[in-house]
Structure formats: structure tokens, C-alpha cells
Structure 1
Amino acid sequence: MRIAMLAPIAWRTPPRHYGPWESVVSLLTEGLVARGIDVTLFATADSETGGTLRSVCAQGYEEDRDMNAKVWECLHISEVFEHAGEFDLIHNHFDFLPLTYSGLIDTPVVTTIHGFSSPAILPVYRKYNRRTAYVSISAADRAEGIDYVATVHHGIDLSQFDFRAQPEDYLLFFGRIHPDKGAREAIAIARTCGKRLVLAGIVQDTGYFKQYVEPALESGRVDFVGSVGPARRNALLGGAGALLHPISFAEPFGLSIIEAMACGTPTIAFNRGSMPELIEHGINGFLANDCGEAVAQVARINEIDRARCRQTVEARFTVGRMVDEYIEVYQQLLRHPPHGGAS
């Protein structure tokens, strides 16, 4: 089986700090390579893989703001499809744009939909429905009028996350600084509880950061540490009493939640999107409807068995399980290609 793995090029694969899509692509690629599958990773030139790396751009456009993102996206995507005949299957992690190439080739294409940035992109997915194959990353993130061959939850490499039975006395917000993710609400929850809050993540909305986060910063009470790499991530997640995830949108998945659970840390999340698929209320975390409920749940966080959090990931969210399920998808598509693929 020869797989062309099409990664995004906003960041390196795997990312040095932020880059959830690139992180998933890397874990899947390396897992497949470890199974003896021939994978060519189409990613930035500074990416790292045990498979074959093919690239057209030196680094991610988020790491070099002089790059024209659209130009390099077009060059990157076309490189895959111009060499489609070299592969048995193309696995697209690049959102909707590559679908517009899929009718021009015979090689089957499967797209993992990492979320819908806007309803405005749905016409592209609908046009190529059944001519390509779609995988959702949660049952919650399925759009009407689109057919899916599978739902495959993300998995993580447990060796990157150390279990900690005894946390420190702080709460953690770990994600993009953006209204969708709820940094403002996390600050309000922590203040009401009288708990220290550490915020980690890239600043994606500068205006929001300056209005709601920066004025609240106070050393030892509300600390912002920016975007962090794997080692600091492991330490922050494991040391937290709880991860606060007061989202204001229907989140398709939530890697930080299973990463926190791998360290033994439960999450208190607003009950939207895929959260009920990841969190068993009262077992490995809590689902809240508002800040008031979240405050009450912080007081109950010691009811959660941290070992049970780790066990949840071991049972449901390992990279091995993710790889197994994608191999099943590939085999299914090679036996019965979508209408756009070779027969």
C-alpha cells in the first residue's frame, strides 16, 4: 500500500509547539510507517518523518510571514496531485481545496475533515460527496448532506505524557487565545474560585488578548506563558488540578483534553460539540453549561480519579487505535474506491 499523506503547511510536521492538524498527521504517518506501510509525507521541508518526505516550501507560512500562504498552498497541493499515479491512495488533511483536484485523477482520495471553518465551505464538500471519501473526527462534527465512511477519533502517543497522581494547586487554560476557546471565561472561573490560572497558547486574536487577557494578568494569580513545546506542555498539563475548556463553539474534537487526561488531569468543559464524546461527566471530568456550573465543578475536582483519566486515554485515544482504524478505512476504499477513483 502506497499512501500520499497531504499535511497542512501552516506549521512544520510535527509542529514545534502549536499545530494540531500537523500533530495528528505526524502521529498517523509515523504509526503507519511503523506498520511497514509506504508513506510519502507531503509537508514543509523542515518536517521530520520516518517515511519519505516531499516538499515544495522550506517552512510553514505561520513561521515565515513573508510567504504568501495561498501561493504556497497551491504549489503544495498541486505537487501531490501531479504525482497521484505513484500512489494507491491520497489522504488529504488540507481541508476543502484539494477536493477540487480530485476529479482530475484516478487515485482514490480520502479526506479527514478536521472541522468546518464556516458553512460557506460546505458546497465544495457537497460537490465531491461520494466522488471522494470523508472521515469525521467526531460524531458531533458531521454536516448534513455529506456522507462519511467512518468517524476516527484522534489518538496520541502516550509516551509523550507522564501520569501525575498529585497535581499542583493551579488551573490551566491550554489553547488558542481566541473568543472560541474561552480564555476570558477561564479567567473569570479561576478568579471566582480563588485559584491560580496559567494560560498557554498562541495569541490568535490580538484584540481579544489585549482587551480581556492582558489586563487580567497578575504574576502568581493569572500567568500567560505563550505557546509551549512538548516538554513544557507535559509539565503544565500534568501539574494542573484541572484543565478549563469553556468553549463558545461546537468544537470538532479537543486534543488538549485527551492530552490532559493522559497526564491524569481532568477537564471542566462547556458542553458543546464533541465534548460528551471525550468527557464522561463525573468520571474523567465535568461538563458545564456556564461559568457558574464550572465554578461549582472546580470545588468537586478531587472527586475525579486521576488514574481513571489516564485509563480513558489508554482505552480509547491511543495513536495505535487511530492507526488501526485508518488502515481499515484505506482497505475499504481500495476494495471499493469512491466514484472518482479507479475501479
Structure 2
Amino acid sequence: MKIAILAPIAWRTPPESYGPWEQVASTLTEALVSRGHEVCLFASGNSITSAKLDAVCALPYETDKTSDPKVLECLHISNLMEKVGNFDIIHNHFDFLPLTYSRLISTPIITTIHGFSSPKIIPVYKKYNATAAYISISNANRHEELTYLDTIYHGVNPSHFTFQSIKENYLLYFGRIHPEKGLDKAIAIAKKANLPLKIAGLIQDQDYFNSKIKPNIDGNFIQYLGNLGKNERDLILGSAKALLHPISFEEPFGLSVLEAMMCGTPVIAFCRGSMPELIADGVSGFLVHTIQEAVDAVKKLELLSPIQCRWHAETNFNMENMISSYEEAYKNVLLNFQN
């Protein structure tokens, strides 16, 4: 099958640190190539892939701050759309904009909806609902006014994550630093539980960081380690007693949650969004509703087995399961398109 993967161009594919959409596009691309498909990855020019790479921008716009993101997005999407005759199917990881081409081309598009950045973009998805093929990344992230072909959970390659059964005496926050991700609550949990907290992630809201987070960082009990790369991520995820994930929004998925469990590290998360779909409560972590419940969960971490955390992640979120599900989705889209 000839497949075009349209990745975002905010970050490199795969990302050097932050970039969940780019990471999923990369994982899918590499696995499809290994299964014998002819794949072309449309991404930034510094991307790394075993597929054919097609790029109109040398660097992602979050790296090259002199660029205009909207201009690069237009050039990026139109570059693929002008070459659609070379492919059997297009897999869109670029949100809603490519849908506006879908009725103008003769190649079917399957769109993975990684999340809704705002209710204002829903009208675009609704306009193409009858003719589009939408994939949700969790059942919690489905919009009631849209029709979906399937829910396909993200998967990761287990070999990229080192299982660690022996944990160090610290809690971890790993993710973008933004009010909706709840780092301030993670700090409160760590202080009440009297356990050190290590923080890693991209600062997305500088005002929030400066006012709510930075005053708590002392370099000892509360440490900020920066926006870590893959090797550092693997080590810090695997060594933690638990990942704290006290979100205050309906999170569509949460790759860091999966990655922690893959390392054998349990997750204590607020029970919102996709968290009940990702975490087996009492097996790979604890689902809680308040800061105090999270503190109580910290005290019960010894009841959980790192081996069971890894088993849960491998069984339910294996890369091979994700790829097989997408291959089946491609076949269904092509069959419906031909009919």
C-alpha cells in the first residue's frame, strides 16, 4: 500500500523532546515501513525516518522562530495535496486544515483526531463528517456530533523503554507546564506526602510557571530538570516511585502516562478524560479526584507491582496492536471509497 503520512511541523518527527503528535506519526511511519508498505512522510526537513521524507521547511516553526507558522502550514499541506495521485491513502495527523482539501482530491483521507484545541474548530469536522474517516485516540475524546470509524489507542515500542523494578525515593511530574496539566497540584501532593518531586517538561505558559511553579523550586526537594530528551526521559520515568498526573481537563490520551507504565512506574492521575481507559486502577496506578486522595494513593504505592504496570502497558498499548488496527482502518476506508 502507498501511504502518505502528514505529520505536524511544530516539532521534528520524531521529536527531540516534546511533540506527542509528531511522536505518534513517527511510530506509525516506521512500523508501516517495517511491514512492507511504501510510505512517504511529510514533515520538517530535519525529521528522521526510514520512509521517504518530503519537506518544504528545513526546520519546524517552533525551532525556527523567524518563520511564519501559518505560511509553513499552507506550504506543507498543499505540497502533499498536489501529489495525492502518488498514494493510495493519506493519513492526516495535522488536525482539521487538510480536511478542506478532501472533496477536491481523488485520494481518501483518514484523520486521527489527537484532540480539540478549541470548540471553534468543531464546525470544520462537522462539515466533512459525512465523507471523512475519523479515528479517535480514546473513547473519552469523542465528540457527540461526529461519526468515528474506530478508536485506536496510541502504542509505543516496548523496546524503547527500560523496565526498572527498583525505584528511587522521588515522585515525578512529566509533561508540558500549563495550568490544565496541574503541576501546581503535583507540587502540593509531593509536599503533603513528604516526598521529593522532580519536574520535567516544556514550559508552555511562562506566566503560570513564574507565578505558581518557580517560587516552589529549590533545586533539592522540588527540582526542575528542563525539557528532557528521550534517553533522559527513559531513566527518570523508570526510576520514579510514581508519575503524578493531576490534570484539570479532559485529556484525550497522555503519552507520558503510557510511557511511565511501560517503564514499570505506576501513575497517580486525576480521574478525568482518558485516564480510566489508560490506567488500571489498583494495578498500574490509582485514579483519584482530589489532592488528598492522591496523597493517600502515594502511601499505597507499595501495593503495586512494577511488573504488572509493564504488563498492563504492553498488553493494551503495544505498538503492534496500534499498527494492525490502522492497517484495518486503511482497508475499510479504501473499500468504502471505491464503492
Q: TM-score, normalised by structure 1?
A: 0.98
CA shift for structure 1 position 130: 2.4
1:278-322 deviation line (CA, Å, top 9, x unaligned): 111111100010111101101111111110000011111111111
Aligned partners of 1:235 and 1:213: how far apart in 2? 23
Match of 2:69 in 1: 69
1:27-46 deviation line (CA, Å, top 9, x unaligned): 00000000000110000011
Matches within 5 A, 1:268-283: 268-283=268-283
Task: Give % identity.
Answer: 53
Match of 2:264 in 1: 264
Aligned partners of 1:220 and 1:207: how far apart in 2? 23
Match of 1:88 in 2: 88
Partner SS for 1:336: helix
Higher relative contact order structure (alpha carbons within 8 Å, sequence separation ≥ 6): 1
Partner SS for 1:324: helix
Return the letter of the residue paired with 1:228.
L
Match of 1:309 in 2: 309
Match of 2:47 in 1: 47
1:111-146 deviation line (CA, Å, top 9, x unaligned): 000000111110000000021100000010000110
Aligned partners of 2:203 and 2:314: how far apart in 1? 31
Matches within 5 A, 1:228-247: 228-247=228-247
Return the letter of the residue paired with 2:116.
F
CA shift for structure 1 position 334: 1.0
Match of 2:215 in 1: 215
Q: 8 Å contact 2:280–2:312 — kept in the other structure?
A: no
Q: TM-score, normalised by structure 2?
A: 0.99
Match of 2:7 in 1: 7
Match of 1:19 in 2: 19
Partner SS for 1:310: helix
Match of 1:182 in 2: 182
1:154-205 deviation line (CA, Å, top 9, x unaligned): 0011111111111000000000000011010000000111110000000000
Q: 8 Å contact 1:26–1:49 — kept in the other structure?
A: yes
Match of 2:118 in 1: 118
1:48-94 deviation line (CA, Å, top 9, x unaligned): 11111000000110111111000000000001111111111010000
1:228-267 deviation line (CA, Å, top 9, x unaligned): 1110000000010000000000000010011000110000
Match of 1:30 in 2: 30
Q: 8 Å contact 2:175–2:202 — kept in the other structure?
A: yes
Match of 1:292 in 2: 292
| Unmatched 5+ stretches in structure 2 | none
Match of 2:130 in 1: 130
Partner SS for 2:261: helix
Q: Does 1:250 align with 2:215?
A: no
| Unmatched 5+ stretches in structure 1 | none
Aligned partners of 1:80 and 1:172: how far apart in 2? 40
Partner SS for 2:156: coil
Q: 8 Å contact 1:160–1:230 — kept in the other structure?
A: no
Aligned partners of 1:130 and 1:303: how far apart in 2? 48
Partner SS for 1:202: coil
Match of 2:109 in 1: 109
RMSD: 0.7
Aligned partners of 1:195 and 1:139: how far apart in 2? 34
